[in-house]
Structure 1
Amino acid sequence: MTSNFIDYVKICGRSGAGGAGSRHFRREKHVPLGGPDGGDGGRGGHIILRGNAQHWTLLHLKYRKHVIATGGNPGEGGRRSGARGEDVYVDVPLGTVAKDAETEEILFEITEDGQEVILLEGGRGGLGNSHFKSSVQQAPEHAQPGEPGQEQWFILELKVLADVGLVGFPNAGKSTLLSVVSAAKPEIADYPFTTLVPNLGVVPYRDFKSFIMADIPGIIEGASEGKGLGLRFLRHIERNSILLFVIPATSEDVGEEYEVLLNELREYNPELVDKERMLAISKIDIATEEDLARIRKQLPAGVPCQFFSSLTKEGLTPLIDMVWDGLQKSNSPT
């Protein structure tokens, strides 16, 4: 089955060329030798990226490899300027990063609904001959040609915008957690890599407040080197305010598992370890008291932690409270 979640596309943009300036002279019945009155050419059309909160993926651009704007019209007599080329708007989801395909340099990011950024400027229109009249040149024959448009390949890459990112190995219980605290319906099954794309859910909180939680595909050791789903999912974690590590109570060593997960993030992007981190121990409904006592001794120091069960709902309210408090802390000015 082909996924509809597309978070990477490569497109070629071509902006419109500017129209040529007019080389025209005023000619009327009683003005046989009028001066130059050639108008300017219109500018070529821009290629513009526009943030659209209704889009969640780049799927609509998957098969649109070329984005082409029209050129400007030439100027006319009577100092009439040519019409501009039509700008082409490319709607993208919030969290889209535009890169130069050749150098992979980040050009800009789209983070707000309605935000517009010119990806490629259209060519300027040429000046008509009316601009070149002078005391020594009363009848200039010269008018400027329009500037050519630009053509360039770009990479558009989506990084999911969410307040909280769930981090963990496959089958840790992340999807189930998202499904019980929000209206999201991710695919859930008892085998690794059920989640192949990020799932977003709005988690309601007290007094009509809410936050967005993202279930990111599971990490495997070596993901930062491209193993498993690799780098494809790690970039989605970059946007999250809080990283909630989910480790099941069936883990042999919670502390060691946490360190492996943390190291994968560090290898991919050292800045990720500066984010607010929290720990959630899942599946406590299938753990014994002895297991829970052992886990408490393995917990990493200084990391807020909560035990919970998505099946019995035990510990869910304190978990959401912990996350909410962490969001207030991470979003408050320092």
Structure 2
Amino acid sequence: MLFGLGLPETTGLLPLAERADRDGLDLVTVSDHPYLADHLDAYAALGVVLGRTRRVAVAANVTNLPLRPAPMLARTVAALSALSGGRVVLGVGAGGRWADIVRLGAEPRTPAEAVRAMEEGIVVIRALFGGGAPVTFAGEFHRVDGIAPVGLPAPPIWTGANGPKSLAVTGRRADGWIPGHAADWLSRRYRESRPVIDAAATAAGREPADIATIYNFPGRITAAPLRRTRDDAGRWIGGSAEQWAEELTGAVLEHGAGGFILFPADPVSRDDASIERWAGEVAPAVREAVVNWRSTSDSNPG
């Protein structure tokens, strides 16, 4: 189980990242939208975050792969990993805002082409880790010729897949999946998407359970319980720390959730109360409940 924090793409992210590190969270993330002038460059920001923290891991949520060529992205991530003791997760996406992506000079791609390029990118990135013989790869979208891989293990690779083809790539190639549009385990998107990942994993000879589902989870953590924690459409609103802990414990035990990244209701103004309750109350309560349940199950196998 991972508990993370989504950071704003401004200079205000540094105090939040330092707090997440100090409070024992596992991960901080930033989005990757380099075509937006008011957003910090994701990988430059993550490098500074790693230099200002000691234990928390970082990730782009998710990397805009069309604007970051896979071989160079592999080298960037390898450098961050080497300098931080491996505190990097690689989130990748096929690209979703093509009008903006093209304005930065990338060649336009159809949705199918973008997905094929994402799969090739993951293959190339993995090949450029782990040491061994030089890598040569001549694909439809990516090419390397006799490039030596770094002698580090590849980072965990998560996708922000949505469509069936990119979900299948996740099943074949990735270590984790972040459902789009803040979908959770009760959503139609999850119910229809996760089986596609599992089927593709099985067809590739992989264990579906090895591909974690990590949820981007917005909401406010209140001092008092709320009468309703979900709206009329079934989307999570928030609630007290106890209500969050109950909901997330159920997500782990009943739906196999692998992690949660909190996006506070107002991250720019820091929403300190929610962040404090997330790290100090919700995460410990969920971890304890899951450990207790598993201990009880192990001692009563029948």
Which structure dedicates a bigger proportion of its chain to helix?
2
Q: Which has the larger radius of gyration?
A: 1
Q: Choose between structure 1 and 2: higher strand proportion.
A: 1
TM-score by length of 2: 0.31
TM-score (norm 1): 0.28
